Amino acid sequence: MEKYNELIGLKKSKLTVIDFFREIKYGKTTIVLNCQCDCGKPTKKTLSDFRKQDNVSCGCLKGQHNFIDGRKKMIEYKSYRKMLDRCFNPNDKDFKHYGGRGITVCDRWKNDFANFIADMGAKPTNKHSIDRKNNDGNYEPGNCKWSTMKEQNNNKRNNIKK
């Protein structure tokens, strides 16, 4: 058990390991970590769960969505990833129209899907996608909204407005 002593004090995501113990159930031995969450609540995690999960907490994140483990299941995540690819991936087919002409994503959203969702909210329907109000502006809270394809087509650079 001494080899687990280095875990004490280890912090991952919102949890800090306080101590550990061995639990035997159905003849199987499991190492269980007693942890303290940043929100103040104590919690227990198996060592294997603690190691394999990216975003661990006492459960306090569930109300805010489990953005790391569950984000790919959220319909908004596809829009988020596509937005990042258009702006930062030169191999993306649409890069020339976005990142290639200087369009970028604000720092608040660039590395934090949770902030993106907090600012944009949920998609009203699956038919909505992210739209920039000012086509020459960046992807940022004041310049983005969820729009239908019809709204997006009316907001294109090549649309002749009378």
Instruction: Select the more confidently predicted residue: 126 or 133.
Output: 133
Task: Say if 149 falls within a structural domain.
Answer: yes
Give the pLDDT confidence of 71-84 residue by residue, as tens digits: 555 788 889 999 99
Same domain, 38 and 81: no
Structure tokens at 80: 């988020």
Name the pTM for this structure.
Answer: 0.54
- The boundaries of the domain holding residue 147 are 70-154
Task: Please state, in angstroms and rounded to a whole number, the distance separating the CA atoms of residues 136 and 139.
Answer: 10
Give the per-residue pLDDT at 126.
85
Residue 154 has pLDDT above 90, yes or no: no
Task: Please state, in angstroms and rounded to a whole number, the distance separating the CA atoms of residues 143 and 83.
Answer: 13
Number of domains in the chain: 2
Give the per-residue pLDDT at 39.
80
| Ranges 22-36, 39-53, 91-105: which has the least confidence | 39-53
Same domain, 55 and 103: no
User: Residue 133 in contact with residue 143, Cβ under 8 Å?
Assistant: yes
